[in-house]
Structure 1
Amino acid sequence: MANRDKNKKTLLELVKLPENSSCADCGAADPDWASYTLGIFVCLKCSGTHRNLSSISRIKSIRLDFWDDELVQFMKANGNRAAKDVYEKFVPVFFYQPQQDDCDVLREQWIRAKYERQEFTEQNKLRAYSSGIYEGLLWKKGKDNGQFLKRKFVLSDQDFTLKYYKEDESKGPKAVISVQSLNATFQPQKIGHAHGLQITYAVDDHTRNLFVYHESGQEIVNWFNAIRATRFVYLKTAFPTASNGELLPWTTRNFLKEGFMEKTGPSQREPFKKRWFILDGLDRKLLYFKTELDAVELGVIFIGTENHGYSVSECMPKGTRGNKWKFGMAVETPDRQFVFMCEQERERKEWIEALRQVIAKPMVPQDYTTEANIRRRK
């Protein structure tokens, strides 16, 4: 007969081992759940996906559920490191491995790819998202009425482009987008769909957005990783001496912060207008749009270092008109001071913290080119 207290103590000792002390799937600290068929320790969020894979993975709480002796011995004989050696043995270098704060579809498809489809157990397994060409239909937000329409997309590492077509493909692509500036980030809340993906790219130094989704979680994550794969090949070609570790942050990236703020003009006597801001920390750009789903930016502010004349601080502007929000901050650049108003003090603190994070980061050679291009636009 199983000794409940002894088995619970053993499990709690196992989960404290360095190799088991974070979730096997998303890295969250102190997992409280375990798959007793895979021999891994997972967090509450990831356990939900495992419950939907009942033919592969069976879940128990290591604190609340009853454990038989043989299941405890199985956990003892396996663990997160052993599972990683099997199920993550051949993960492509570009493949995105979700973290605890990533959206549900990324985490779910990572778990399914590992244990259900076993995509990474064989070295030369054919994976559609790394074949060099990826194509299919995606729902894309139209610019006129905001409705989502089905469009064919084609991504290729032969000419490093992403193309999309309207209904009549014989007329050629509606747009040909260079992979050089391409970025993709999941935005389920903003787009209003659990599989919503924002694709960002540059045209003539201006940032443009595409908002897309697919009904299938596997398909939209395949698109995301296909973009990462193509970007990685491009970066290896453009920067042949750079290491994988140096290139991977540039394959795709999440924005450091987003949200509405009020903005005034250069003289600070113009009325404040509400704008949607995006801080791209890697590219050192603070972009602003009329709404969160606009296709084209209204403007961009380069964020350099303190040594180059950039700073951010709280402020309370005087003599301004039209602002409904009361929590101000000023961004100083070599050319001018920008004043923004936030709705809540918490939001102002978050913006200042995020901007200071960028300001504190040393500039690299391509940052000077970005700065010069943005200042030339003024």
Structure 2
Amino acid sequence: MAKERNSCVLRDLRQRPGNDICADCGAAEPDWVSVTLGVFVCQGCSLIHRSILSLNQVKSVLQDTFDDKETEFIASMGNDAAKAKYEQQVPAFYCRPSHTDCRILREQWIRGKYERQEFIHIEKQEPYSAGYREGFLWKRGRDNGQFLSRKFILSEREGALKYFNKQDGKEPKATMRIETLNATFQPAKIGNPFGLQITYLRDNSTRNIFVYHEDSKEMVDWFTAIRAARFHYQKVAFPGANDEDLVPRLTRNFMKEGYMEKTGPRHTEGFKKRWFTMDDRRLMYFKDPLVSE
């Protein structure tokens, strides 16, 4: 009887304001609860919690039973209290993922909040908030499609992201200005769960590079460092703007992508298959999805 009563209490707790959306991605009507943290989460985020050893005590609100100790803890915590504890100092530029974002973003958000406690201890944010980042990423070659290790340097002071074909190279292969940068995770398109597409302007044309890192945290740190650099650039460019107005400008996912048939400039030319991308208010097309510089 006690376990059945507790299950009813959990269902009631889930309806409270704050608990009625996932604590991590904001999805509506979460059916799972972390017994470790006392927060209600959606099924997708519950799977991520289960994969993390220190957070893996997750139960179904609708199917599992709860003892008195678990019920009392969850009642004392809840999503709002957990947010106040674990999200004390989230930088404005940090991407808070939604339920539609890819797993790498959601997983590192969850690990950053609860496991590493990055938003309680601000010094743990240094890898992506220092204004300078240097390291190696696997970059897809333009001609052969092979991924090769390349040195990347992101510098807010220089206002650029650069990469070098040689480890000791002094001249960058490409310099991408921070004001035109966009970065979006494209795991399916790139064929790697940590695949990131970086878009920039060169000679008034849109260029792409495709990169990944074997470590998911390293890849998200690069993504967040780009967002931080973009944020500080926007703060200078638009000194009167609020942070809430600047954040949507930092990075963006493409509105729509896919193949369509396109004719040539002459009426006599036939249709050819091309990859189209709807990016903000621009419709672009390429010969294939992975066209780079």
Same fold (TM over 0.5): yes
| Residues 312-362 of structure 1: per-residue CA shift (max 9 Å, x gap) | xxxxxxxxxxxxxxxxxxxxxxxxxxxxxxxxxxxxxxxxxxxxxxxxxxx
What CA distance in whole angstroms lies between the structure 1 residues aligned with 2:113 and 2:179? 30
Alpha-carbon distance, 1:240 to partner:
1.0
Give the aligned partner of residue 162 of structure 2. Answer: 163
The alignment's TM-score, normalised by the length of structure 2, stands at 0.96
Alpha-carbon distance, 1:227 to partner:
0.3
Q: Which runs of 4+ in 1 moved over 4 A?
A: 123-126, 266-269
Task: Tell me if structure 2 keeps the 8 A contact 1:38–1:57.
Answer: no
What CA distance in whole angstroms lies between the structure 2 residues aligned with 1:186 and 1:250? 16
What CA distance in whole angstroms lies between the structure 2 residues aligned with 1:184 and 1:101? 17
What CA distance in whole angstroms lies between the structure 2 residues aligned with 1:10 and 1:168? 60
Residues 37-56 of structure 1 aligned to structure 2 (within 5 Å): 37-56=36-55
Task: Tell me if structure 1 keeps the 8 A contact 2:151–2:167.
Answer: no
Give the aligned partner of residue 202 of structure 2. Answer: 203
Q: Are residue 175 (structure 1) and residue 168 (structure 2) matched?
A: no
What CA distance in whole angstroms lies between the structure 2 residues aligned with 1:16 and 1:290? 50
Give the aligned partner of residue 71 of structure 1. Answer: 70
Residues 1-378 of structure 1 aligned to structure 2 (within 5 Å): 3-123=2-122, 125-266=124-265, 268-281=267-280, 284-296=281-293
Alpha-carbon distance, 1:37 to partner:
1.6
Alpha-carbon distance, 1:175 to partner:
1.1
Alpha-carbon distance, 1:34 to partner:
0.6
Structure 1 residues 57, 88: CA separation in 2 closer, same or farther (over 3 Å shift)? farther
SS in 1 for 2:138: strand
> How much identity, in percent, do the aligned residues show?
54
Alpha-carbon distance, 1:270 to partner:
2.7
List gaps (5 residues or longer) in structure 1: 297-378
SS in 1 for 2:93: coil
Alpha-carbon distance, 1:244 to partner:
1.1
Q: Say what the alpha-carbon RMSD is for the aligned residues.
A: 1.3
Structure possessing the higher relative contact order (Cα contacts under 8 Å, 6 or more residues apart): 2
Greater C-alpha radius of gyration:
1
What CA distance in whole angstroms lies between the structure 1 residues aligned with 2:24 and 2:122? 20
Give the aligned partner of residue 335 of structure 1. Answer: none
The alignment's TM-score, normalised by the length of structure 1, stands at 0.75
